[in-house]
């Protein structure tokens, strides 16, 4: 055979020879013991070892001899398809590569093999390095000894150190500087962890590199999530703000609609439907407002246009088809260019608000009335037949719903009787309201009684006010000092008594009520009618049932029971134990009591507070009592200037009362007064006095 050349395992070195002897010499010189054999075309046709070659040559072998026959036993045969990776770890020195016909196609020594593997690995490594450099995540590979065997630029950047300073360094030390060494240990597991490194937030994941179940190293993947975190927290804030805004709008008692510049509804709450279009199809987000769709929608559309054009907040009033009154305020939201990007419309239901206010006022007034009623339980103390008659009358009249006019001097107990009537009437569970017509200026009195609508007059409260008549609905209104009611109001009161309905000041709607009116006066209303200072029609309307309470001096039997009643009350109040001496009782009984029961009540309180000792003597009583005692029987006491006719009437009334009280008989009394029996009877009748033993009620 003609062997032209032998290629040694070192591919860079080619040796040419003419004879086999040359080849053998090359082998020996290179100190190798095997080599491929190439044919004349340069194709590797076999492998041959030095010793086997010599041996085979000696035995006359040719290149056609099967390879197994000349193969060194230490060699392993592989075919061309077997990968380098699979044989790289085999404990062999030589590798023979066969072609398909199982003929030798090449040979690799360990060095050549490793070189080849290395080259492949280096290529793969270069490709991997390029990939690792390109990825934005930081990657740190740590070998079995715990040293960093790879760190990509992203990781070096995140840890703020040069790649060279980290490579081959103990990973625990390098990562300790950034506080990340804990993630090297198995305890960190293979899930993501969040950690701070400098001013960054990192997501870290640890992966083990294992071979045959043993950990060979660790790879840490680092990701900078600072921006992500910031964006995510911003997103959270925006989401939560959005949620808050939605719930605020929804929780609003007022209606709210947000509309964009094109008239498309961006948001609407439930209150909108309740106020503007109850029961109608709801206004939906995304709906474009149409000018002529519904009244409510048309209103929104118009308001939106007004706000868009003026770029200012606009307020309009709107009356819903159901008769509700609403105030709509549209406010613009301007964008950076200064044009209106959205319009926020708030809708306030004034009807509801007004009703609520009235309800609250009524409730407050009723509470006050209830309290007053419970606090002032009218215990009517009486001993005299005259007062007993008054009480009987009151109880009788309580059962019917008529108007009552209670007359009598100041402090006789008119209010007490009024309360008694209310308490025993069907209305006793309703309010008892009272007003002193003489204590309130005329202009105020009207609004107090009838109430007023908002803006009815200058200075009126914006929301309007409910009047006492309305508060007293289903109850009783006690008009004290009715004689002081101005003429203008007398007309209004009369109208109310006839119609049982009122108009508030500035109001156009009649309000139906169910109120019983009790009136009281210490004035002579009949005379006022004559003098045209009190309306006759009202007088007769009020005077349906008249009750006259006699002054205390005309019912002296009541003085001591009342005095003891008040004394007991004040003893309880002030923790005293005062009682009246016989002499003091006589003084009290003799006194004329111009201030009536109220004066007696005040006197008892003064004595309890000021008097010394428990037994009240005449000297403990107010000075005017003593003076009158001395003067009593001699002269008539006048305390104030009054018209002669009134003085004469008072005097006559007193004298007739005294005479009747003293003699008990009309004739004897007439004789004592020096008038005829019929004159006395006529006068007693005109003064509405009771004449006992002679006639019944006069
Ligand atoms: N018969 C009575 N029994 C118990 N207390 C009485 C009686 N009469 C009057 N009083 C008390 O005397 C005081 C005055 O009574 P009241 O206010 O009813 O009189 P009035 O006639 O309405 O007075 P005015 O004309 O000033 O309005 C009240 O404190 C009342 O409680």
Distance of CA 226 to the CA centre of its chain: 37
Query: Where exactly are the structural domains of the chain?
Result: 5-116, 135-228, 254-353, 392-548, 556-686
- Evaluate whether 14 touches 5 at the Cβ level (below 8 Å): yes
Q: Nearest CA to 257 among 347, 380, 129?
A: 347
Structurally, at CATH architecture level, domain 135-228 sits in 2-Layer Sandwich (3.30)
CATH code assigned to 392-548: 3.40.50.300
- Evaluate whether 169 touches 148 at the Cβ level (below 8 Å): yes
Residue ranges of the chain whose pLDDT lies below 70: 1-118, 120-121, 369-378, 455-462, 626-641, 661-664, 690-698
| Partners of 616 in the β-ladder | 580
Q: What is the distance in angstroms between the CA of the first residue and the CA of the last residue of the chain?
A: 176
Mutate which of 408, 598, 603, 604 for ligand 1 pocket (most atoms within 8 A of beta carbon): 598
Q: How far apart are CA 107 and CA 90, in angstroms?
A: 15
Phi-psi label, residue 344: left if phi above 0, alpha if psi -120 to 50, beta otherwise: beta
pLDDT of residue 506: 86
Q: State the residue for tokens 């006359």.
A: 60
* Ligand 1 center to 154 CA (angstroms): 100
- Evaluate whether 39 touches 63 at the Cβ level (below 8 Å): yes
Q: 556-686: same fold as 135-228?
A: no
Q: How far apart are CA 34 and CA 585, in angstroms?
A: 158
* Ligand 1 center to 375 CA (angstroms): 15
Q: How far apart are CA 390 and CA 597, in angstroms?
A: 15
* Ligand 1 center to 130 CA (angstroms): 110
Q: How far apart are CA 173 and CA 584, in angstroms?
A: 111
Q: Is the CB of 413 under 6 A from ligand 1?
A: yes
pLDDT of residue 691: 60
pLDDT in tens, 259-303: 998 889 988 998 888 888 777 778 888 899 888 778 888 888 999
Q: How far apart are CA 131 and CA 85, in angstroms?
A: 22
**Stated length of the chain:** 698
DSSP codes, 599-636: HHHHHHHHHHHH--SSEEPGGGS-HHHHHHHHHTTTS-
pLDDT of residue 2: 36
Q: Which is the closest atom of ligand 1 to the Cα of 381?
A: 3
CATH code assigned to 5-116: 3.10.580
Q: How far apart are CA 156 and CA 131, in angstroms?
A: 15
SS3 661: helix
- Evaluate whether 677 touches 684 at the Cβ level (below 8 Å): no
Q: How far apart are CA 267 and CA 309, in angstroms?
A: 21
Q: Is the CB of 550 under 6 A from ligand 1?
A: no
pLDDT of residue 71: 46
And the tokens for 186?
């198995």
Q: Which is the closest atom of ligand 1 to the Cα of 382?
A: 1
What stretches of 413-549 show up as alpha helix (H) in DSSP?
414-423, 442-450, 468-471, 487-499, 525-530, 536-542
Q: Radius of gyration over alpha carbons of the chain, in Å?
A: 60
E-only strand ranges, 183-306: 193-197, 200-211, 214-224, 255-260, 265-268
- Evaluate whether 473 touches 514 at the Cβ level (below 8 Å): yes
CATH fold of 556-686 reads Helicase, Ruva Protein; domain 3 (1.10.8)
Q: How far apart are CA 598 and CA 579, in angstroms?
A: 19
pLDDT of residue 116: 61
Strand (E) or helix (H) holding 98 = strand 94-98
Q: How big, in percent rounded to 5, are the helix, strand and coil portions of the chain?
A: 45, 20, 35
Q: Which is the closest atom of ligand 1 to the Cα of 436?
A: 27
Mutate which of 567, 597, 603, 604 for ligand 1 pocket (most atoms within 8 A of beta carbon): 597
- Evaluate whether 86 touches 60 at the Cβ level (below 8 Å): no
- φ and ψ of 167, to 5 deg: -60, 140
- Evaluate whether 347 touches 276 at the Cβ level (below 8 Å): yes
Q: Is the CB of 409 under 6 A from ligand 1?
A: no
Q: Nearest CA to 446 among 478, 492, 484?
A: 492
* Ligand 1 center to 94 CA (angstroms): 137
Residue nearest to atom 8 of ligand 1 (CA): 413
Q: Is the CB of 611 under 6 A from ligand 1?
A: no
Burial of 136 (0-12, 13-18, 19+ CB in 10 A): exposed
- φ and ψ of 341, to 5 deg: -95, -30
Question: 543-554 as b/e, with b when 16 or more CB fall inside 10 Å?
Answer: bebebbbbbbbb
Domain 254-353, CATH among 1.20.950.20, 3.40.50.720, 3.30.450.20, 3.40.50.1000: 3.30.450.20
* Ligand 1 center to 526 CA (angstroms): 23
pLDDT in tens, 182-215: 888 888 887 788 888 888 888 999 988 887 788 8
SS3 214: strand
DSSP structural state of residue 697:
-
pLDDT of residue 57: 59
Residue nearest to atom 28 of ligand 1 (CA): 598
Q: From the CB of residue 493, how many other CB atoms can be counted at a distance below 10 Å?
A: 25
DSSP structural state of residue 320:
-
Residue nearest to atom 25 of ligand 1 (CA): 410
DSSP structural state of residue 70:
H
Contacts of 149 (CB under 8 A, 6+ apart): 141, 142, 143, 167, 168, 217
Contacts of 47 (CB under 8 A, 6+ apart): 34, 35, 36, 37, 67, 71, 75, 94, 96, 104, 106, 107
Q: Is the CB of 523 under 6 A from ligand 1?
A: no
| Partners of 434 in the β-ladder | 478
Question: 458-486 as b/e, with b when 16 or more CB fall inside 10 Å?
Answer: eebeeebbbbbbbbbbebbbbbbbbbbbe
Long-range contacts of 420-423 (CB under 8 A, 24+ apart): 420/378, 420/380, 420/391, 420/394, 420/395, 421/394, 421/395, 421/397, 421/476, 421/518, 422/373, 422/398, 422/475, 422/476, 422/478, 422/516, 422/518, 423/373, 423/378, 423/398
* Ligand 1 center to 387 CA (angstroms): 13
SS3 50: helix
Q: Is the CB of 437 under 6 A from ligand 1?
A: no
Q: State the residue for tokens 């609609």.
A: 257
């Amino acid at each position: 055979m003609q062997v032209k050349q032998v290629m040694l395992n070192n591919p860079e070195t080619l040796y040419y020879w003419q004879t086999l002897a040359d080849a053998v010499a090359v082998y020996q010189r290179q100190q190798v013991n095997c080599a491929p054999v190439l044919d004349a075309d340069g194709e590797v046709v076999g492998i041959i070892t030095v010793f086997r070659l010599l041996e085979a040559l000696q035995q006359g072998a040719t290149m056609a001899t099967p390879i197994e026959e000349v193969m060194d036993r230490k060699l392993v045969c592989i075919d061309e398809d077997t990968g380098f990776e699979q044989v790289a770890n085999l404990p062999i020195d030589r590798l023979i590569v066969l072609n398909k016909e199982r003929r030798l196609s090449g040979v690799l020594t360990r060095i050549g093999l490793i070189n080849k593997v290395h080259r492949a690995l280096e290529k793969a490594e270069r490709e991997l390095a390029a990939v690792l450099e390109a990825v934005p995540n930081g990657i740190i590979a740590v070998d079995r000894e715990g040293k960093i065997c790879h760190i990509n630029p992203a990781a070096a950047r995140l840890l703020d150190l040069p790649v060279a300073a980290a490579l081959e360094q103990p990973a625990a030390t390098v990562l300790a500087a950034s506080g990340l060494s804990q993630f090297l240990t198995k305890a960190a597991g293979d899930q993501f962890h969040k950690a701070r490194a400098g001013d960054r937030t990192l997501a870290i994941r640890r992966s083990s590199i294992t071979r045959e179940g043993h950990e060979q190293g660790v790879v840490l993947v680092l990701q900078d999530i600072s921006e992500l975190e910031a964006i995510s927290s911003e997103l959270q804030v925006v989401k939560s703000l959005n949620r808050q805004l939605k719930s605020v709008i929804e929780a609003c008692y007022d209606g709210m609609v947000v509309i964009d510049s094109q008239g498309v509804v961006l948001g609407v709450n439930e209150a909108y439907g309740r106020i503007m279009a109850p029961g109608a199809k709801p206004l939906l987000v995304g709906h474009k407002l149409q000018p002529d769709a519904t009244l409510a929608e048309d209103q929104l559309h118009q308001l939106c246009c007004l706000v868009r054009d003026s770029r200012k907040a606009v307020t309009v009033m709107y009356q819903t088809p159901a008769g509700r009154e609403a105030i709509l305020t549209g406010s613009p939201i301007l964008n950076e260019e200064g044009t209106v990007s959205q319009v926020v419309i708030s809708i306030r239901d004034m009807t509801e608000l007004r009703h609520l206010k009235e309800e609250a006022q009524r409730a407050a007034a009723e509470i006050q009335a209830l309290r007053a009623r419970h606090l002032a339980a009218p215990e009517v103390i009486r001993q005299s037949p005259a007062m007993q008659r008054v009480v009987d009358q009151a109880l009788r009249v309580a059962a019917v719903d008529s108007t009552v006019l209670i007359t009598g001097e100041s402090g006789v107990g008119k209010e007490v009787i009024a309360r008694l009537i209310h308490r025993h009437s069907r209305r006793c569970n309703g309010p008892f309201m009272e007003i002193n017509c003489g204590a309130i200026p005329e202009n105020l009195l009207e609004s107090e009684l009838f109430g007023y609508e908002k803006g009815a007059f200058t200075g009126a409260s914006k929301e309007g006010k409910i009047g006492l008549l309305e508060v007293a609905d289903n109850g009783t209104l006690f008009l004290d000092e009715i004689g002081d009611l101005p003429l203008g109001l007398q007309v209004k009161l009369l109208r109310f008594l006839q119609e049982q309905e009122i108009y508030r000041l500035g109001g156009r709607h009649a309000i139906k009520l169910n109120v019983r009116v009790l009136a009281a006066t210490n004035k002579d209303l009949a005379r006022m009618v004559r003098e045209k200072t009190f309306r006759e029609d009202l007088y007769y309307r009020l005077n349906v049932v008249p009750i006259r309470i006699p002054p205390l001096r005309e019912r002296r039997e009541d003085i001591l029971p009342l005095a003891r009643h008040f004394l007991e009350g004040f003893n309880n109040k002030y923790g005293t134990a005062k009682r009246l001496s016989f002499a003091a009782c006589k003084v009290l009984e003799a006194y004329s009591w111009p201030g009536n029961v109220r004066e007696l009540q005040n006197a008892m309180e003064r004595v309890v507070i000021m008097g010394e000792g428990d037994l009240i003597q005449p000297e403990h009583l107010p000075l005017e009592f003593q003076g009158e005692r001395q003067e009593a029987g001699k002269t008539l006491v006048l305390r104030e200037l009054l018209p002669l006719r009134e003085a004469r009437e008072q005097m006559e009334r007193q004298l007739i009362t005294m005479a009747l009280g003293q003699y008990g008989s009309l004739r004897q009394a007439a004789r004592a007064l020096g008038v005829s029996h019929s004159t006395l009877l006529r006068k007693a009748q005109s003064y509405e006095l009771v004449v006992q033993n002679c006639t019944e009620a006069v």
